[in-house]
């Protein structure tokens, strides 16, 4: 197997950092060569709040992945999430100079490039511009306009926006850990690649990725992403509630949640009690499992209701926008007992747990197909797409090209289209960030 074919997905989460090394086998499936995992110490609700600790956690996960796979790791595709992420709908158009010439990729690139010039709030940057559907000379509902004739090319876009400093901090951590930032992508998009089928995306589906610090939502309909949102609550806040409600330490609360926790209080009888060892010679503490599941149930309902509100805001109640495939739950938090039943009860929508096994090679260990690795598998799949696109060598910065540095010493993010065949805004940012850090 060629070394160049090896790719790496790096999931920088609130509770854990996962480095997943893999290759594409002859059947087009992802073969995982090694996985490294470390406790995430410098990330809060998906946002880096301690650079040094995050770098150490990344290095630990990468070293573990290197040892497990026997491969050298340099380029990584990183996921971005966090409460600073927001999305908006935008329509734009271009008037073509020659309507007698067929529409080609350059026209679409020009239209997408125009969207990147949108003025955002101070400190915000566009991460993704995702075309929904096109119009050519007023003719609507066109999915692929290339090859058509027309003077006016119009499109609806789903625009994902994030805080510049959060993106820069992730870039700084990756580069400082002696890695190259090959690409950066929105985590709900990565998770959806790993756990959703094309049929579900066509029928209409809501992917809910319950992580440690955040719950990410991605809604698909007619094969196109329609809505994304990040809810600033996840599995950690449930652990926090158990800790406060039962007056125990965080480690014990997490163990209780994983081993005995249930999202449905009716499942436990009043007589079911678990004994927690006391601290330093103190008496053991007895906790009723019914009380435990009531604490979990209250917080889970709050999270689900916030997500359901986003689904309703998208317009799920309208017949044309109905999500026929219902809800897919993934992420570490989706493994909570009876969560599927509670989600179905609150939303009235069909629900299943999403496992990232569909795109993995048959002999993959069941440990790697857990929902908690859905984002890492999706990022690895995104990384494996890159060699075939032959865009890595293209447009290498020349020696004379310098990076813009503001008075505060921060790099300006170049505004370039996020399209196939060109370097994305983040790829260029990664190159220049490394150059800047090397010279600092």
Can you tell me the distance from the alpha carbon of 18 to that of 9, in angstroms, rounded to the nearest whole number? 8
pLDDT of residue 407: 38
| Strand, helix or coil for residue 135 | strand
- Let me know whether 193 and 342 are in one domain: no
CA gyration radius for the chain?
23
In a domain, 253, yes or no: yes
Decide: helix, strand or coil at residue 351: strand
CA distance 45 to 405: 29
Helix axes 51-69, 164-176, angle to 10 degrees: 50
Q: How many CB atoms lie within 10 A of CB 178?
A: 13
DSSP code string of 44-62: ETTEE--HHHHHHHHHHHH
pLDDT of residue 5: 66
Domain end marker among 313, 332, 354: 354
Q: Do 26 and 168 share a domain, yes or no?
A: yes
Question: In this structure, are 267 and 313 located in the same domain?
Answer: yes
Q: What is the pLDDT of residue 81?
A: 83
Task: Indicate the DSSP class of residue 278.
Answer: P
pLDDT at 1: 38
Same domain flag for 206 and 338? yes
Supply the pLDDT for residue 433: 56
What residues contact 388, with CB distance under 8 A and at least 6 apart? none
Same domain, 365 and 232: no
User: What tokens does 40 get?
Assistant: 């995430």
Q: Which of 307, 335, 354 is the last residue of a domain?
A: 354
124 part of a folded domain = no
Beta-sheet strands, E only, within 121-214: 124-136, 139-142, 152-163, 180-186, 205-210
> Does a structural domain hold residue 207?
yes
Taking the chain (440 residues) in runs of 10, the rounded mean pLDDT of each run is 68 92 86 91 87 94 93 89 86 92 93 91 89 91 91 93 89 92 88 93 95 92 90 92 91 92 83 85 87 93 95 89 94 93 94 88 75 93 66 36 38 38 52 57
Do 71 and 191 fall into the same domain? yes
| Same domain for 316 and 175 | no
Those residues with Cβ within 8 angstroms of residue 67's Cβ, 6 or more apart along the chain or in another chain: 34, 36
**Model pLDDT, residue 413:** 39
The pTM score is 0.82
Name beta bridge partners: 30: 24, 360
The pLDDT assigned to 409 comes to 39
Q: Which domain-ending residue is among 354, 387, 419?
A: 354
The backbone torsions φ and ψ at residue 384, rounded to the nearest 5 degrees and listed phi first, read -75, -20
Question: Which burial class, exposed, middle or buried, applies to 394 when counting CB atoms under 10 A from its CB (0-12, 13-18, 19+)?
Answer: exposed
Q: With contact defined as beta carbons under 8 Å apart, do 419 and 131 qualify?
A: no
Instruction: Output the six-digit token pair for 392.
Output: 């890595």
Is residue 184 located within the same domain as residue 60? Answer: yes
Whether residue 31 lies inside any domain: the answer is yes
Contacts of residue 297, defined as CB under 8 A and 6 or more positions apart, other chains included, come to: 263, 264, 265, 342
* Residue 350 pLDDT: 95
Contact 156, 197 (CB under 8 A): no
Residue 194 has which token pair? 């790993």
Long-range contacts of 305-314 (CB under 8 A, 24+ apart): 305/346, 306/215, 306/231, 306/233, 307/206, 307/208, 307/215, 307/217, 307/229, 307/231, 308/346, 308/347, 310/217, 310/227, 310/229, 310/231, 311/206, 311/217, 311/219, 311/347, 313/227, 314/219, 314/226, 314/227
CA distance 186 to 193: 11
**393 and 250 inside one domain:** no
Residue 3 lies inside a defined structural domain of this protein: yes
The answer to the question of residue 294 being in a domain is yes
Taking the C-alpha atoms of residue 37 and residue 35, their distance in angstroms, rounded to an integer, is 7
Residue 116 lies inside a defined structural domain of this protein: no
Based on the number of CB atoms within 10 Å of its own CB, is 52 exposed (0-12), middle (13-18) or buried (19 or more)? exposed
CATH number at residue 30: 3.30.420.40
Whole-angstrom Cα distance, residue 365 to residue 363? 6
How many domains does the chain divide into?
2
In a domain, 107, yes or no: no
Shared domain for 272 and 180, answered yes or no, is no
Supply the range of the domain harboring residue 170: 1-84+162-197+358-440
Q: Looking up tokens 């003719």, which residue turns up?
A: 139
Q: With beta carbons less than 8 A apart as the criterion, state whether 420 and 389 touch.
A: yes
- Give residue for tokens 């770098």: 55
Q: Within this chain, do residues 327 and 186 fall inside the same structural domain, yes or no?
A: no
Q: How many angstroms separate the Cα of 190 from the Cα of each of 72, 163, 355, 365? A: 23, 19, 13, 20
**347 and 242 in a common domain:** yes
80: helix, strand or coil: strand
């Amino acid at each position: 197997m060629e070394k160049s074919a090896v790719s790496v997905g790096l999931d920088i989460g609130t509770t854990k950092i996962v480095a997943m090394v893999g290759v594409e086998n002859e059947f087009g499936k992802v073969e995982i060569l090694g996985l490294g995992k470390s406790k995430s110490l410098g990330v809060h609700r998906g946002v880096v709040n301690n650079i040094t600790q995050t770098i150490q956690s990344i290095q630990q996960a990468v070293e573990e992945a290197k040892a497990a796979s026997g491969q050298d790791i340099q380029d990584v595709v990183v996921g971005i999430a966090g409460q600073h992420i927001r999305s908006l709908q935008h329509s734009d158009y271009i008037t073509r100079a020659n309507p007698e010439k067929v529409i080609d990729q350059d026209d679409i690139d020009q239209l997408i490039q125009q969207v990147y010039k949108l003025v955002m709030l101070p400190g915000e940057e566009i991460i993704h511009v995702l075309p929904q559907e096109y119009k050519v000379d007023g003719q609507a509902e066109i999915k692929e306009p290339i090859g058509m004739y027309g003077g006016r090319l119009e499109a609806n876009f789903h625009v994902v926006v994030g805080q510049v400093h959060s993106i820069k901090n992730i870039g700084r951590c990756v580069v400082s850990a002696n890695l190259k930032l090959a690409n950066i992508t929105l985590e709900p998009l990565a998770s959806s690649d790993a756990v959703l089928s094309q049929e579900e995306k066509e029928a209409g589906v809501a992917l809910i990725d319950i992580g440690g610090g955040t719950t990410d939502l991605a809604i698909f309909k007619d094969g196109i992403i329609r809505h994304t949102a990040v809810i600033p609550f996840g599995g950690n806040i449930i652990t926090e509630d158990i800790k406060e409600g039962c007056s125990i330490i965080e480690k014990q609360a997490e163990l209780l949640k994983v081993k005995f926790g249930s999202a449905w209080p009716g499942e436990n009888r009043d007589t079911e009690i678990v004994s927690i060892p006391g601290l330093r010679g103190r008496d053991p503490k007895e906790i009723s499992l019914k009380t435990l599941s009531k604490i979990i149930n209250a917080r889970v309902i709050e999270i689900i209701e916030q997500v359901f509100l986003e689904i309703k805001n998208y317009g799920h109640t309208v017949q044309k926008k109905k999500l026929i495939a219902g809800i897919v739950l993934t992420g570490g938090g989706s493994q909570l007992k009876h969560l599927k039943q509670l989600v179905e009860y609150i939303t009235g929508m069909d629900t299943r747990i999403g496992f990232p096994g569909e795109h993995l090679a048959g002999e993959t260990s069941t440990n790697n197909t857990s929902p908690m690795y859905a984002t890492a598998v999706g990022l690895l799949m995104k990384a494996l797409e890159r060699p075939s696109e032959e865009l890595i060598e293209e447009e290498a910065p020349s020696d004379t090209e310098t990076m813009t540095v503001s008075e505060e010493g921060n790099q300006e993010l170049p505004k370039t289209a996020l399209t196939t065949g060109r370097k994305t805004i983040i790829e260029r940012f990664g190159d220049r960030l490394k150059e800047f850090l090397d010279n600092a």
